[in-house]
Amino acid sequence: MARIPVNPDGGEQRDGSKSREYKGIPLKANLSVCHASFSDADRPVYCCPAWKDADQTLLDFEFPDPSSPVRIRRPVHLVDEEFVAKYERAVAIMKQIPPDHPHNFWRQANMHCLYCTGAYDQANSSALFKIHRSWLFFPWHRAFIYFHERILGKFMGDDTFALPYWSWDTPEGMWFPDIYRKGALNETERDAIHLREPAVDDFDYVDHDLASDVQIADNLAFMYHQMISGAKKTELFMGCKLRSGVEGWCDGPGTIEAAPHNTLHSWVGNRYNPERENMGAFYSAARDEVFYAHHSNIDRMWTVWKKLHGNKPEFVDQEWLESEFTFYDENVRLRRIKVRDVLNIDKLRYQYEDIDMPWLAARPKPSVDPKIARNILKKRDGEGVLRMPGETDRSRVYEHGSWTLDKTITVRVDRPRINRTRQEKEEEEEILVVYGIDTKRSRFVKFDVFINAVEETVLSPKSREFAGTFVNLHHVSRTKSHEDGGEGSKMKSHLKLGISELLEDLEADEDDSIWVTLVPRGGTGVNTTVDGVRIDYMK
């Protein structure tokens, strides 16, 4: 047994400690210089356009005519053969037009590469402009698929065309969509093992080879956690507040971005490629047309979550609302679109066809009766120590200030506030923070977090003890350009998990401490270290 830091004031950057040279400045890309960037495994890539965007006329975004048809995005498993034929022809055209044209399929895919690998610096800063793992994730991808959809419709001559969505959150949609095995929609760089019939999507990506009905039940419980109990506050769902400049960096994806977003990207990507290309790596993900169906459903999750929260504004920070991106529209005009422009899909003239969402009623139950679990957990009491199976060297954690997730670890964490009233719980969510997460070799990393787990080896998202998951999609937290010291500017990540409802269900909301267990999955923890765990509160 070895003692570890469980409540130091550290881990992720905090506003109060930052030198905020660019405070209040919205984020945007410096289009005048596009440079070589780095893949998710820190390998050099080049995805800059042949047309230098800074030399093009940049126009402000204009909303579609309010009288124009509303595009209805339907579940991909419900579209008919006529739709698939039109869609496939349009993608085939997109793949055949000149490679330097902004509407070319690979040029479209490289738009994702540009903004995910740091090919552009931020305007007025040497910090890289990246849109993953923060509050920019949802708005950037909404804008991206919005323009992609309209370009395809232009090729078809159909101003009602709408991308289908892969409804992986429902039992009927939890298989890889068959239409993406056909013609121009097909892609060879996929995981043949996962895509065989009948392979149910694994949101938690543990590869337990569960029976279909068991995997579906796990997925529904997982969705309940990611959309409801673990996403009661905006930042938990949307991601951390990325600010301008290197000092404004943060690395904290929202619940849905972490999973199923990241996990399904890896689940589809080819396991025999270095970074599970294409879908399994940011730089190449959009080379697979199923990317757009996947992200249509991610976008739909945003609309569902917002409705569940009374359609209240996500954030009111001007830095977020005024942050901007650039895309070529269906008429090959370069458009500046701001976050505030994408917040209302009615104004963007598209909607989602409604379907049943059984995960709304899939609230997990404790795997062990809470009273029985409490008696078992009391036997662990004594010292607030980390328990690592087989670990006898007490000095290792003291020396390094962190521990390696090469095995399951458990730690007791004190709770600063107990006996909170119902109003206090509604105003402030109790947050479990796993901080100082360092993924050493930029590989796919995943670990699950459980609270008050008696036997973690038999637990899954279907268990109420499940608090959340950390997923690193071959990701490097490079924050500065290569020319300005990017190699030495990698930073650690953090994971914030909402646990108020979970503690109530475990009858632990009045306990002065909880037991937190981190379970690395698939041997991926050997390259991962964590600095500590603490409890915070979020308004």
The set of catalytic residues is: 112, 132, 141, 261, 265, 282, 295
Residue 493 β-bridge partners: 437
CB-based contact 519:381 (threshold 8 Å): no
Look up residue 410 and give its amino acid: T
Q: SS3 sequence, 440-482?
A: CCCCCEEEEEEECCCCHHHCCCCECCEEEEEEECCCCCECECH
Both tokens assigned to 58: 């940049």
Both tokens assigned to 313: 């504004």
The DSSP letter of residue 45 is: E
Euclidean distance between CA atoms 144 and 141, whole angstroms? 5
Q: Which residues contact 488 (CB under 8 A, 6 or more apart)?
A: none
DSSP strands (E only) in 80-144: 120-122
Q: How far is CA 429 from CA 293, 461, 503, 506, 533, in A?
A: 33, 20, 11, 16, 16
CB-based contact 357:170 (threshold 8 Å): yes
Euclidean distance between CA atoms 203 and 218, whole angstroms? 8
Q: Which of 298, 290, 11 is nearest to 132 (CA)?
A: 298
Count the alpha carbons within 13 Å of 302 in the hemisphere toward its beta carbon.
Answer: 27
DSSP strands (E only) in 220-288: none
Distance of CA 105 to the CA centre of its chain: 24
Name the residue with tokens 């290792």: 396
The DSSP letter of residue 58 is: E
Q: Which of 363, 205, 233, 395 is nearest to 305 (CA)?
A: 233
Whether the upstream peptide bond of residue 419 has omega within 30° of 0, thus cis, is no
Euclidean distance between CA atoms 322 and 341, whole angstroms? 9
DSSP strands (E only) in 67-198: 71-73, 120-122
Name the residue with tokens 């950057």: 13
Euclidean distance between CA atoms 213 and 431, whole angstroms? 32
Q: Other C-beta atoms within 10 Å of 34: how many?
A: 19
Q: Which residues contact 281 (CB under 8 A, 6 or more apart)?
A: 39, 40, 41, 269, 273, 275, 473, 474
Q: Which of 308, 295, 292, 313 is nearest to 357 (CA)?
A: 308
The DSSP letter of residue 260 is: I
